[in-house]
Structure 1
Amino acid sequence: MVLALSFAVQAVGAILPNVPLLVAATVIGLAADMALHWWQRNMVSALGKLHATVFVRQVVRDLLVVTGLLRMAGLVQIEEEDHETRYLVIACGLLLFYALHVACQALATMVRRSRTLPVVTRNIDASSLRLSPAPPALLTSRWGQRLLGFSVPSTAGLLVTAETGSVRWAVGGITLSVLAALVAIGMLLLRLRPGRRPVTAEQALEWFESWLAEYRPTVGMYFSGGASSAYQANMWLEPLARLEGRPLIVLRERFMVSQITSTDIPVVCLPKVADLMRLEHSTLKMMIHPSNSGKTSQVLRIPTIKHAFVNHGESDKLSSCNPYAKAYDEVWVAGAAARERYALADVGIEDKDVVEIGRPQLDTIEPYAGAPTGPYTTVLYAPTWEGWDGNPGNTSVIEAGENLVRVLLADPKVRLLYKPHPLTGSVDSRAGTANVRIQEMIRAANARRATEHSDERPAPSAAAELARRTTELDRLTTSSFRASADDVERMLLQTVPEPGRATSVAAATTAWEAAYWASFPAWEHQIVTDARPTVYACFNVADLLVSDVSSVISDYLASEKPYAVANTSGLAEQDFRDAFPTVRAGAVLAPDASGVPALLESVRHPEKDTYAEARRELKLHLLGPSDPPSAVRFNEAARALCAAADEHRAGMAARALAAIPRQPDAKATLDDQRVRG
């Protein structure tokens, strides 16, 4: 609005002419344009779709100032008599600046392309690819900010000329803008010199193949998805790292390389299908798949690799028995419940291809230790998101979330942990709105409790300890990059990790979690939306889980602690239990949250808990036996699939050898000729 108004006022100031109006509107318009590029880039994109690009806007802005100068030429006494020459110099100077901007943009595109390699890596020494730090983003990617910044001297010179009538100011300002563009062009040209560019695409792929031959990966994880789906892959990092063999992570989207959390496993991103196919001739034997995506079918074409679908969680939802799973060689599930789910769904998954491995991620979850021992009962409310199918029973946030939170907050002996799904509100805006209101309710409750418990605060050293632990964990897990760093610069910096880093990260994470919970007073409710602490860390401090029909329940059952499920499906309670087996060992809460007080009573007094034995049985049914441990079963399944891949490769080689026409023996041919002679 400000930008559009500035152009209108600028036009009025140029036509009247009115110098103060023209100067003020131009300055405000240029400042508003800069603000858009810094803080509202979505609006910049929207304007671009209307063909009102920053280039067009700046040309119009300068044209209006020049129009104002022309209008004032007959009204203001000027120093030079040759008006035409004066404006010709200004016009030619501006045209030269715009031409240099276009040239700079073309060179920036060439530099970006030269630094866009067909493979992106992490935790791999890729220095032989002639990697180098990225040029400033102002020169390569932020071309709108570059144009506006370089235009400041020329626009300022034109405005001073309008005020004083002296052309020297306009010429001087335009000269500075031209010089800035020339410097930028020179810096970009240096980046295009053969010695300053990374290797060619073909050389990079040859290097990748040689690295594969040297590293000799055997087990891997394939992942493709959107920015908010990285958690699906991250939950399998630690189990993958513990497998026998040499692990590898294969990604398809460049941005996903930075979304994968701290790991020592080598990471490669191969955006193009043709480059992905180079894995066919590697030593990679099997890959696990945490999710289905459109690009999954591309890697399934590789015949030398076996594929197992492991999913990113199991629940009673239809998404946990997707027909797409039959595209994999095997489907690895937690326990017998998932095997039965696939059989009942009848989606083409043969029982022989289903392998029960448990949930190796759940090893860190602490078991049930009885009733809450402190003054507060910690309740974790972890609703799932609304999903893609529009089922009203997917999430409780919309219909029951506020009621549940209101009743829980009303209990003076409850401490609430609220951890909504990362995708909450992404499909249904009502879920996003309810999520915001729930968080406002929790903050208001904390404000009230703060006045009642002003003397119950952690020692100042607790906050200092958390800050120290955060710094230590960030140092181990977060790579610090310049704002202008591109993939090539990150590849250069994210080289082979130091030995023992994974062990250090695990210890630092445990210490951080302890410091995190100790930094808050025992009565304070928490809203947990960051990546840390994880939902598993929340499990360990919770006495009760309230959730929806989702994999959160299955994972929480590893602790055998009490849980409840919100029923917003519209089904009667018994029908709800019959439809969703994971509900049978927990309480069912109506949308009005009327059952919460009785639920809290059963948690505080275990003798009133009628679901304890059912939870133990359901845990075994959902997650499988604890002996052998899930990590062992996961490794055994991987070894068996690797053996199947070896057998398949041997068969392929034998068939290929049999298909080659046999050459006749030279001596036998000569003897045969003599006999016939």
Structure 2
Amino acid sequence: MPSAGPATRRAVQLSALFAMFAAYTGQLAGALLPHVPIFIIASAGGLALDLYLQLRQPGLLSLLSKVRFDVTVRQLLRDMLIVLGLLRMEDINPIAEHSPLTIGLLAFYMTHFACQATAVLVRRSRTLPIVTRNIDTSALRLSPAPPRILSRRPGHRLLAFSVPVTAGLLATVVTRDALWGGIGLSLALAVAIAGTLYLAGWLLPAKRSATEAQVLKWLNHWLADYRPTVGMYFSGGTTSAYQANMWLSTLPQLDGKPVIVLRERFMVQKIDATDVPIVCIPKVAHLMHLEHSTLKMMLHPANSGKTSQVLRIPSIKHAFINHGESDKLSSCNPYAKAYDEVWVAGPAARERYQLADIGVDDRDVVEVGRPQLSPIRPYGGPPADDGLTTVLYAPTWEGWTNDPGNTSVILAGENIVRRLLADPGVRLLYKPHPMTGSVDPRAARANERIQAMITDANSRRGGPRPGPEAAAELRRRTVELDRLTSTHFRPDADEAERMMIQSTPDTDRAAAVTAATAAWERAYWASFPEWEHQIITGPRPAIYTCFNQADLLISDVSSVVSDYLTSEKPYAVANTSGLSEKEFRAGYPTVRAAAILSPDADGLPELLEAVRNPEKDALAAARAELKTYLLGPSDPPSLVRFNEAVVALCAKADDRRARMAARASSDVPTQREGAEETAAELASEEIELEPTGTREPAGTADPADAPEGSDSVNV
């Protein structure tokens, strides 16, 4: 079912915002009138609403914090209004007769801020300069985290501890007896002080983690013991982890010792299950520790702003492997010339780089195929006469350029889906790119409408369904796969505790995950009736599994097309670029063997007919030829060619290190030493040529005489 849209979320947030300000208004009105029932309801309701928002509407609270109306300000305002109400009520004077109430309230806030200061110190002491997975970290003295309500949730803590304060003060309003307010404040103070002291225990040596210097020293020792040779470097946003995950199956099969190097702390948990050691090094200064390791080369599945930082390490060779190849401009980024080598699937990408003329030397382009494509099954013939034709519609996202030709979702998606749903012999699998709608709101709205169309079509379609045992089998397989691929942390666990839990790799885990994934995929497809259309928006099932289910792919100009071609099954590409079909085919080699769909998708009936009747398929030979052009030869296998490229680039790194070692041990001066000697010789010659007393020796001029804007006059 489609998720709640932006309009619904905005309506909920606005309603909550109005309710919050209504509560403050009620408090103020109840205090000034004074009117006890209104005052009590508004005060208690405001606190309850804030507690609810902390759990259900963090987005709204984030917006309020940006305008400096955060939880501390909101609770202070509520308590000030309660004090105002106490002042306005008869027989109550919290400042004069009942001053302990006012003093107790101030003490409560002082304790809250002291607890917050302690929490900051604890978090800093537990934030290590690196984050790891699959590496023994016992030497770092990691310990379980303190309760998150004390250490990481100041808003929850303040509101929770304020409950007895508010309850006691409101009881005083009702009974006119300050004892209830004192009881509430005493209870809150006792809990806050105890929580602060308990939290401070994590600053003691017994629970304190290793210092930054100790952690970095440990990292150097681990690198020396493990002796990694091949690394995969990755940096990106929260939705980009798939770019690295697609290479996880390849890394363990390479000659050498692999390691994954990340830059963002959150990415450590975004990487799928793997036995390969993972090291996250956020700071560039700490990243330089890799220079003195045995690491010979880095594989780069994506470009990022932080990639330039690791390229500074001269002892490591770098290869750009990309996360998929397409004819889009992003597959020929000029940034690629910063790498030592650019690894591509086949001749098409090599030609693409040369035609783009972006400075990538053809000698640095290496054809390695696509080793991840081995799970894709080859063409097995047309759909059965009495069966449905399964069509996979997998459009890409809109990209950063807002080019209408990037994605078909906006201009053609609804027409394509409408025509497919109109054919009773079609079963549709809809799998949009995970970033669809992240740039252009029109794509998000079109995606929602497409999903609504599919849901409505299923409601009007009927047929036999699998028995309850199929759903039970899927649940069982899901639990098993989740157990293998996910580490379930307790809610209070922080980064250091997760490091401690994930410090021991399971050497059999990769094989177990592969088997469990295959079993889950079989159970997934068996749990749905064959006639039911599917909306697939999560990471499971993976796109390659959908390839194996499909008789036909409809997509855009993207790497999905190149990958699907390994099956040699029919495919179509939507042309929303505004180019003619002839120009479209000439400009994008990946569509040479595709059926071209216009934005109105008029050619779909003829395309489906060709899929069902292979004798009408005029593009079969072209697909076989294009497959080799895009992905390279089938023999030797892609993994073999990829591994050979790894070995060759590692050898280049070894050669460079040998040359540098020979240069360091020889009498030939280095570039820096040669420059210093030359400068000294020139300076001495200049002194000898100039008459005595007519000119200052080079390098001794008065800085005041330097031209404006220069840094120095020294030679």
TM-score, normalized by length of structure 2?
A: 0.90
Q: Does 2:259 correspond to 1:242?
A: no
Aligned with residue 303 of structure 2, among 267, 287, 292: 292
Question: CA–CA distance in 2 between the matches of 1:134 and 1:420?
Answer: 39
Match of 1:465 among 465, 473, 476: 473
CA displacement, residues 561-591 of structure 1 (integer Å, 9 cap, x when unaligned)? 0000001111111111111111110100011
Cα distance per residue 1:466-494 (max 9 Å; x no partner): 11111111111111111221111111111
Name the amino acid aligned to 2:74. R
Q: Distance in 2 between matches of 1:87 and 1:609?
A: 91
The structural deviation recorded for 1:599 is 0.5
Q: State the shift of 1:83 in Å.
A: 6.2
Q: 2:137 aligns with which of 117, 123, 126?
A: 126
Q: Give distance in 2, aligned partners of 1:305 and 1:236.
A: 20
Which residue matches 1:96?
Answer: 107
Residue 333 of structure 1 corresponds to which residue in structure 2?
344
Give 1:9-48 correspondences, 5 Å limit.
9-48=26-65
- Residue among 481, 484, 488 paired with 2:489: 481
Q: 1:73-117 CA deviation, whole Å, 9 max, x = no partner?
A: xx34x6xxx864443211110100000000000000000000000
More deviation in 134-143 or 287-296? 134-143
Amino acid at match of 2:19: V
- Find the counterpart in structure 2 of residue 591 from structure 1: 599
1:292 shift after superposition: 0.3
Aligned residue number for residue 655 of structure 2 = 647
**What corresponds to 2:388 in structure 1?**
376
Range with bigger deviation, 209-218 or 43-52: 43-52
Residue type of the partner of 1:12?
A
Question: Bigger shift: 404-413 or 85-94?
Answer: 85-94
Structure 1 residues 207 and 222: CA distance shift in structure 2, 3 A? same
Question: Is the Cα contact below 8 Å between 2:94 and 2:101 reproduced in 1?
Answer: no
Paired AA for residue 419 in structure 2: V
In the alignment, which residue of structure 2 is the partner of 1:447?
459
Distance, in Å, in 1 between the alignment partners of 2:511 and 2:109 is 55
Letter in structure 2 aligned against 1:70? L
Q: Percent identity?
A: 64
> What residue in structure 2 maps to residue 669 of structure 1?
none
Structure-2 separation of matches of 1:660 and 1:205: 35
Q: Which residue of 1 aligns with 2:71?
A: 54
What's the secondary structure of 1:237's corresponding residue? coil
2:418 pairs with 1:410: no
Q: Secondary structure at the match of 1:638?
A: helix
The residue that corresponds to 2:287 in the other structure is 276
Q: 1:603-646: CA deviations, max 9, x gaps? A: 00000001000000000000000000000000000000000000
Question: How far is 1:463 from its partner?
Answer: 1.1
Alignment check: 8 A CA contact 2:95 2:102 kept: no
Residue 71 of structure 1: how far off its partner (Å): 0.7
Distance 1:383 1:485, change over 3 A: same
The 2-side partners of 1:661 and 1:544 are apart by 65
What does residue range 395-544 of structure 1 map to in structure 2 within 5 Å? 395-449=407-461, 452-453=462-463, 456-544=464-552
1:375-399 Cα deviation digits (max 9, x unpaired): 1111000000000111101000001
Tell me the SS of whatever aligns to 1:229.
coil
C-alpha separation in 2, matches of 1:661 and 1:506: 55
Aligned residues: 652
Q: CA deviation at 1:128?
A: 1.4
* 2:332 maps to 1:321: yes
| Corresponding position of 1:667 | none
Question: How far has the Cα of 1:259 moved from its partner?
Answer: 0.3
The letter of the residue matching 1:559 is S
Q: Does the 8 Å contact 1:86/1:167 carry over to 2?
A: no
* Match 2:557 to one of 549, 568, 593: 549
TM superposition shift of 1:25? 0.6
Note if contact 1:309-1:332 (Cα within 8 Å) is conserved in structure 2: yes
The structural deviation recorded for 1:35 is 1.4
| C-alpha RMSD over aligned residues | 1.2
The code of the aligned residue for 2:459 comes to: A
Instruction: Give the conservation status (yes or no) of the 8 Å contact 1:150–1:181.
Output: yes
Q: Which residue of 2 aligns with 1:343?
A: 354
Change (3 A) 1:337 1:49: same
CA distance in 2, matches of 1:381, 1:397: 10
Superposed displacement of residue 416, structure 1: 0.5
What is aligned with 1:365? 376
How do 1:140-159 and structure 2 match up within 5 A?
A: 140-159=151-170
> What is the SS of the residue equivalent to 2:239?
helix
Instruction: Report how far residue 148 of structure 1 moved.
Output: 0.3
Cα displacement (A) at 1:157 = 0.6
The separation in 2 between residues aligned to 1:36 and 1:499, in whole angstroms, is 43
Structure 2 residue matching 1:545: 3-state secondary structure: strand
Name the SS for the 1:227 alignment partner: coil
- Aligned position for 2:578: 570
Corresponding residue for residue 229 of structure 2: 218
Confirm or deny: 8 A CA contact 1:310 1:331 kept in the other structure: yes
Q: Secondary structure at the match of 1:238?
A: coil
The amino acid that maps onto 1:352 is R
For 1:57 and 1:478, the matched residues in 2 are separated by 38
Residue 459 of structure 1: CA displacement? 2.1
- Whether 2:142 is the aligned partner of 1:138: answer no
CA distance in 2, matches of 1:448, 1:83: 68
Shift of 1:498: 2.1
Deviations 1:339-380 (A, max 9, x none): 000000000000000000000000110000110125111100
User: Partners of 2:216 and 2:248 in 1: how far apart?
Assistant: 26
Write the distance in 1 (CA, Å) between the matches of 2:339 and 2:330.
16
SS in structure 2 of the partner of residue 565 of structure 1: strand
Cα distance between partner residues in 2 of 1:208 and 1:96: 45
Please report the TM-score for the alignment, with normalisation by the length of structure 1: 0.95
Q: What secondary structure, in the 3-state scheme, does the structure 1 residue paired with 2:98 have?
A: helix
Q: Which residue of 2 aligns with 1:581?
A: 589
The residue that corresponds to 1:666 in the other structure is: none
- For 2:317 and 2:266, the matched residues in 1 are separated by 26
Judge conservation of contact 1:122–1:491 (CA < 8 Å) in 2. Answer: yes
**Aligned match of 1:636:** 644
Q: 1:158-188 CA deviation, whole Å, 9 max, x = no partner?
A: 1010011000000100111111111110111
Separation in structure 2 between the aligned mates of residue 135 and residue 559 of structure 1, nearest angstrom: 52
Of 150, 166, 172, which aligns to 1:161?
Answer: 172
Structure 2 unaligned regions, length at least 5? 1-17, 671-715
Task: Give the Cα–Cα distance (whole angstroms) in 1 for the partners of residues 95 and 81 of structure 2.
Answer: 18
| Residues 647 and 22 of structure 1, relative CA distance in 2, 3 Å threshold | same
SS at the partner of 1:513? helix
2:182 corresponds to which residue? 171
